[in-house]
Amino acid sequence: MKKILLLALLGLPTISFAQKKPNIILIMMDDLGYGDLGVYGASQYQTPNLDKMAKEGVRFTHFLSAQAVCSASRAGLLTGCYPNRIGIAGALFPNSKVGIDAEEETIAELLKANGYRTGIFGKWHLGDRKEFLPLQHGFDEYVGIPYSNDMWPVNYDGTRPENNPKKIHPELPLIRGNEPASYIKTLDDQAQITQILTKESIQFIEKNKAKPFFLYLPNPMPHVPINASAAFKGKSKQGLYGDVMMEMDWSVGQILQTLKRLHLAENTLVIFTSDNGPWQNFGNHAGSTGGLREAKGTSFEGGQRVPFIVQWKGHIPEGQVQSGLASNIDLLPTICAITKSPLPKKKIDGVNIQSLLQGNTDAEPRKEFYYYYRTNNLEAVRKGTWKLVFAHPGRTHEGFMPGQDGFPGPLREDFPFKQALYDLRRDPGERYDVSEKYPEKLAELQTLGNQARAEIGDDLLKIKGSENRAAGKALNP
C-alpha cells in the first residue's frame, strides 16, 4: 500500500494495474518487403528490436496485405473489408475526389466509441480533403503526411529542375490536426520523418498512459524517396536502404521501451506489419521480397505477403512462428474481439485471428483469400496453401534492369499472365503450374473465384458484384 502511494506521489503509472481495456499499437511500414527484417532473412543490416519482438511474441509467415498498393491496403486494414468492397483502389493522388465513405466504420471509430483515445502519426493516404482526413474517421489526433512521400514537386534526386516530372504535385504538407503545420521540401526534411513520428507517438503514449489508447503509426518509410537521419546514415552494410531500416527498427525499439518504462507492456498489444511488398524497380532503394515472386503492385506473393509480428506480454505465448493464413483485413475483427468493441454494422470480410495469435496450429479462422487488384480485377484466389492465378494483364518487374539511387527502372504494366495453379507449400515462388495434376483443386478454387465475383465483382470478366459499396465522394469536387 505504501509503495503504491509512493508511486502515485511520484506520478508513476499505478493506474495501469487497474486498467482493463488493453491498449493497441499498430505500426505499419510502407513498401517494406517480406525479406526485410533480420528475423525474416535480411542479412546486411540488423533489426534487433523487431527480432526481439518476434522472439517475445508471434511472427506470421503467410500474412497478406489486403492489396499490394498503399491506399487499397490501408483501406482494408482500417475497415476490415476487401478494399474493392468499399470502393477504394490503387494509390490516391493529391486532391483526390474520393476517400473512405462516412458510413464505413474504421478501427479508430470503433475503439473511440468504446472509450479509447485514438492517435495516428504517419501517412494516411485515404483522401487528403478535409472530410476524408483521419480526424473525420475516428482519430482524436493526427500528425503526418496525407499521401505518399513521393507525391511532391521534387525530382527523384531531390532537385527541382525545370523539366522535373513531379512538377504536377503540390508541396508535401506535414499535417497537424486538419491543417498543414509545415512542408517537407527536401530530402533532408524526409530524413527527419521517422524521428518526428517516433517523438509524437511517444508523447501520445505518455499523455494517455492512464487511459486505453489506440496508436496507429503508419511510418512513410521505406517508401521512396528514402532517407535516414544523421545518426543512422552510413550505419548499415547495405547503403541508405539499410540505414533507413535500422532507424525504423530503432523507432520500434523506442516505442517498446516507452511501454516498459510506463509499465504498460502487459496491457498493450503491439502489432508490426507493412502495407505491401517492395517497390523493386527502385533497385538499391527498394527492399527484398525474400525470394517471393514479383513485388509491389502485383498479386503475386512478393507484392502481397508481408511481415507480421505481434507482441503482448503475458497474453501471447512467446517465440511462435505461425504459418496460418491471415490478412490485414483480419485486424479489425481481432482488435474488436480483444477490446470487446462492437463490430461495424455493415458486412466486413475480416475474421478474428486470436486463435492464431495464441499459437493454435490447428485453427483455421481464414480459409480463403481473394487477391483483387486495380479497380476490381480478381487476379487470384487462395485456399489454404493453394493459389489459383487467373489470366490477367499485370505488372512485371522481371527482365528489367532496376533503377539506382532513388531513380526508378522500367517495368511493364500489361504482361499477359496465364491461368496457373500453385501449391505454395512446395512452390513459394509460384513457378510450377500444377493444374493438370490436381484437377479437383483447380475446380475448388474456380468455384471460390466465382463466389468472389458474385459478391464483389470482377472487371476482368465484366461481372458486377451484388455487394459493392461506393467510396466516399468529395463534398466539392
- Contacts with Ca ion by CB under 5 A lie at 30-31, 70, 275-276
How crowded is residue 462: how many other Cβ atoms within 10 Å of its Cβ?
7
Its sign, for the CA torsion 178, 184, 190, 193, is negative
Nearer to Ca ion, 30 or 430 (CB): 30
Do residues 348 and 329 lie in contact, with contact meaning Cβ atoms separated by under 8 Å?
A: yes
At its nearest, how many Å lie between Ca ion and the CB of residue 347? Answer: 26
Nearer to Ca ion, 70 or 120 (CB): 70
- Pick the catalytic residue: 62, 125, 169, 392? 125
At its nearest, how many Å lie between Ca ion and the CB of residue 223? Answer: 6
CB closest to Ca ion, residue no:
70
- Our answer to whether residue 81 is catalytic in this structure is no
Nearer to Ca ion, 221 or 264 (CB): 221
Do residues 298 and 337 lie in contact, with contact meaning Cβ atoms separated by under 8 Å?
A: no
- Greatest Cα pair distance, the chain, in angstroms, is 74
At its nearest, how many Å lie between Ca ion and the CB of residue 217? Answer: 15
- Pick the catalytic residue: 62, 70, 137, 397? 70
Buried b (16+ CB within 10 A) or exposed e, 11-20: eebbebeebe
Quick one: which of 117, 176, 119, 118 has its CA closest to 143? 176
Nearer to Ca ion, 277 or 365 (CB): 277
Do residues 276 and 148 lie in contact, with contact meaning Cβ atoms separated by under 8 Å?
A: no
Distance of CA 136 to the CA centre of its chain: 20
At its nearest, how many Å lie between Ca ion and the CB of residue 464? Answer: 29
Nearer to Ca ion, 273 or 334 (CB): 273
Task: Kindly give the pairing relationship between strand 368-373 and strand 377-383.
Answer: antiparallel
At its nearest, how many Å lie between Ca ion and the CB of residue 85? Answer: 20
- Our answer to whether residue 125 is catalytic in this structure is yes
DSSP label at 183? E
Nearer to Ca ion, 30 or 51 (CB): 30
User: Cell for 54?
Assistant: 518476434
Helix, strand, coil percent content, the chain, rounded in steps of 5: 30, 20, 50
At its nearest, how many Å lie between Ca ion and the CB of residue 105? Answer: 23
CA–CA separation, 13 and 11 (whole Å) = 7
For residue 76, count CB atoms less than 10 angstroms from its CB and return exposed for 0-12, middle for 13-18, buried for 19 or more.
Answer: buried
The catalytic site residues sit at 70, 125
